Structure 1
Amino acid sequence: MRRTALLAGARIMEIYDADDFEVKVKSDASPVTEADEAADAMISDALKEAFPEVLVVTEEQADSHTESADSFLIVDPLDGTKEFVRRRGDFTVNIAWVENGVPVRGVVYAPAKGRLFYTTAAGQSVEETGALDPSTPGETVPLAVASPDNGALVVVASKSHRDQATDDYIGKYQVNDMTSAGSSLKFCLVATGEADLYPRLGRTMEWDTAAGHAVLSGAGGRVVRFDDHTPLIYGKAGYANPFFIAYAPGVELKPGG
């Protein structure tokens, strides 16, 4: 999964660094680029070869959205397409393994930022540093969430999907600092201790969140539903998520609504 994410990221950057690239609009009005499609083909082919008996669900292959299994791989080949199109760099390659509703392994690679996060075989989340060679894993730094100060929280929110409802909910907390990020990097900022809380009051799909969720879990963090604060589970009908909150334990969650 790590190697595949790095190779897909390299292909994405070839397109990102070109003078121009094609942008199309999908049926749900979201953008899709040739980078999404190229990365999707690379990743799905590699995963199906490595795990021939495992269901691969990927954003860009609608047929996979009607399939289900207790254990499956779920992929967003280019999460943050809007950030990609605007050349803002906050986009990621997301690959996750889900078992019985829980994302237990994940890889999040931000190729424009040179940041790679993943869970090890033991379930510990790390950030790999150095040259990020696909064939040779480099040095890693274990990740651990911060010990939050509820009187001075650091909150991360979406760059492209911020709205009044999100601001109203964040306003329930005592916030020392606000930061914004695109794609699944928001989960990773909580996992590294760079933020304490990430509320999402908007539409997401499981391929948007599973890899980041796994990385955050492997760093000691949690992801719960916004409405009742029960764990966010995966393998739901259509792979659609409810609103959710990702956070470091110790944050005193405020009620939703």
Structure 2
Amino acid sequence: MTGIEINKYLNTAIEASLKAGDVIMKVYDTAFDVYIKDDKSPLTEADKKANDVINSYLENTPIPIISEENKQVDFSIRKTWNTCWVVDPVDGTKEFVKRNGEFTVNIALITDGKPILGVIYVPASKTLYFANNTKNEAFKIELKSHDTSINEILEYAIALKPKFNSNDLIEVVGSRSHMSQDTLDYVEDLKAKGKQVEIVSKGSSLKFCLVAEGSADVYPRFAPTMEWDTAAGQAICNAVGVEVISKVTNESLLYNKENLLNPWFIVGK
């Protein structure tokens, strides 16, 4: 894939995320209904509407789509995909239902199992993160409108820089809604090693962004996630040198696997 194509696909993903953010907020501002899916996770009208918008953009590319809200394609077909989109139209639906603003639109492009670009949009605050991994670049911008042009975004976005921690204070990102016992044990282990630990709570894929932008040191995730929960966040982290390491393989998380469930992982330098 050429650099020109990657730039074009990144622009498409950004535009799709902003338009999805717009429809999400229109639902957010209403008395929406909440449905419970078979896996016990919540679903709202915003998930479907955002998914329809994102599909309308990505289906104009020659690249197949894995989305939480699409019917999943059998692995016998998916395994032939060298490149695919991985999408979560509303990551953090629990945060959406709580109306705390900590939900995101996640769009990533995967080649050979690895993210090559990623977009995370926070509709409630109009905060946009995006990364081009072929250039090792990731950026953040606070928008005034969901209709902000690509040219304006590219001109004013600020490069992300993670922390280089040299002291005994470790800022650990904890899930707003999914703090597991294994995570608590991880924190206690750090303390036993003489580290001072501060927990930074955040919902959705924003946890990746905190590490990528230097607002935290590490994000241990010892609870279930799916590929669409992590692909865009991993793209943004990897672009600035932050690793997303499987606790099973001790290597980077991979995508478009037969089982779309992720292993436990740690995000950090």
TM-score normalised to structure 2 length = 0.87
Q: Which residue of 2 aligns with 1:219?
A: 240
Using the TM superposition, give the Cα deviation of residue 104 of structure 1 relative to its aligned residue in structure 2, in angstroms.
Answer: 1.3
Distance 1:117 1:65, change over 3 A: farther
What are the equivalent positions in structure 2 for 1:91-170 lying under 5 Å apart?
A: 91-120=103-132, 122-132=135-145, 133-136=147-150, 137-138=152-153, 139-149=156-166, 151-170=168-187
Give the C-alpha shift of residue 201 in structure 1.
0.5
Stretches of structure 2 that go unaligned for 5 or more consecutive residues are 1-12
Q: Partner amino acid for 2:68?
A: E
Residues 80-137 of structure 1: CA deviation (Å, up to 9, x unaligned): 0000011111100000000111111000001112211001473400002342544343
Q: Quick one: distance in 1 between partners of 2:243 and 2:89?
A: 24
- Equivalent positions of 1:1-257 (< 5 A) are 1-18=13-30, 20-49=31-60, 51=61, 53-64=62-73, 66=75, 67-68=77-78, 69-120=81-132, 122-132=135-145, 133-136=147-150, 137-138=152-153, 139-149=156-166, 151-173=168-190, 174-247=195-268, 249=269
> 2:5 aligns to what?
none
| Aligned AA (1:113) | S
Percent of matched pairs sharing the same residue: 40
SS at 1:237's partner residue?
Answer: coil
Q: Evaluate the alpha carbon distance shift between residue 65 and residue 185 of structure 1 in structure 2; reply closer, same or farther with a 3 A threshold.
A: farther
SS at match of 2:84: strand
User: How many residues get paired?
Assistant: 245
Find the aligned partners of 1:113 and 1:156 in 2 and give their Cα distance: 20
Q: Deviations over 1:31-74 (max 9, x none)?
A: 1100000000110121011x1x2111100112336441121001
Alpha-carbon offset, residue 228 of structure 1: 4.3
The aligned residue for residue 4 of structure 2 is none
Cα distance in 2, alignment partners of residues 230 and 151 from structure 1: 26
Runs of 4+ in 1 over 2 A off after TM superposition: 62-67, 120-123, 129-138
SS class of match (1:198): strand
**How far apart, in 1, do the equivalents of 2:264 and 2:128 lie?**
26
The runs of 5 or more residues in structure 1 that have no matched partner are 250-257
Q: Secondary structure at the match of 1:64?
A: coil
- For residues 243 and 45 of structure 1, the distance between their equivalents in structure 2, rounded to whole angstroms, comes to 32
What is the aligned-residue RMSD (CA, Å)?
1.5
Q: CA deviation at 1:220?
A: 1.6
1:227 CA drift (Å): 3.4
CA distance in 2, matches of 1:123, 1:165: 32
